[in-house]
Amino acid sequence: MVLVTGSSSGIGAAVARRFAAGGARIVINSATSADAGRQVAQSLPDAVYIQADISDADQANELVAKSVDHYGRLDVLVNNAGRTRAIPHRDIAAAYPDIWRDIFGLNVFGTWQTTVAAIPHLEATGRGAVVNISSIAGSRPAGSSIPYAVSKAAVEHMTRLLAASFGPTVRFNAVAPGLIETAWTTSDDFFASIAARVRETTPLRRVGQPDDVAAAVVLLAESEYTTGHVLSVDGGAHLL
């Protein structure tokens, strides 16, 4: 069974569909957008929707518990839920502490809390896998805001530390997307300007699609001799 957080749309929904196409049973999750989440679950052969805000520790624990209660086991956790705020990097006064807390509360603490709840069940399988969704902003001086970029750097190092600690029973990897075309990124002028630059300068000359990320997530989840790896899915932007 595969639990994908933040999977009512965008990258998370694409990840869920890719796993389902391979025969996996899926738990769809979101903090809000419950109707959209249920629609995604209903569109898959064997899926259930569970609403939970993983930035809250109790809800993260309950999400994992309900998932295991429903399917009897947990094989793969995909920590996809995340948020950002578009803030120019030089405008440090605008990145006030509450924004840091809000972004870290989901991107870092939510990922951590869900992972901690999931590890006993993943270890029980003897071959569990966690794939965290990071960003190329986690390793480059880029991203929609400094708090967001730093949160993704934390997710990447968390991935490596957990990979070193929990082998051989649980593998930890991360996918670091570049700009991906979603409802989130197509509705904002900030991302529109980045998209134009991506199409002009990156080797593959296009913005990524959610399924580009989904393919990498499934690859890492199924690659049984790979752990502690961060895979860039960015059309070659890391080469620039």
Query: How is residue 137 annotated by DSSP?
Result: G
CB of 62 closer than 8 Å to CB of 52: yes
CB of 80 closer than 8 Å to CB of 40: no
Report how far residue 194's alpha carbon sits from residue 210's, in angstroms, rounded to the nearest whole number: 17
- Whose CA is closest to 73, among 137, 116, 121, 131? 121
Report how far residue 82's alpha carbon sits from residue 100's, in angstroms, rounded to the nearest whole number: 13
Report how far residue 202's alpha carbon sits from residue 196's, in angstroms, rounded to the nearest whole number: 10
* Residue whose pair of structure tokens reads 């694409």 in the numeric block: 14
Q: How does 141-174 read in b/e, with b if 16+ C-beta sit within 10 Å?
A: ebbbbbbbbbbbbbbbebbbebbeebeeebbbbb
Report how far residue 7's alpha carbon sits from residue 13's, in angstroms, rounded to the nearest whole number: 5
Is 148 an annotated catalytic residue?
yes
Helix, strand or coil, per DSSP, at residue 64: helix
Report how far residue 202's alpha carbon sits from residue 206's, in angstroms, rounded to the nearest whole number: 7
List 49, 71, 96, 148, catalytic entry: 148
Annotated catalytic residues are: 148
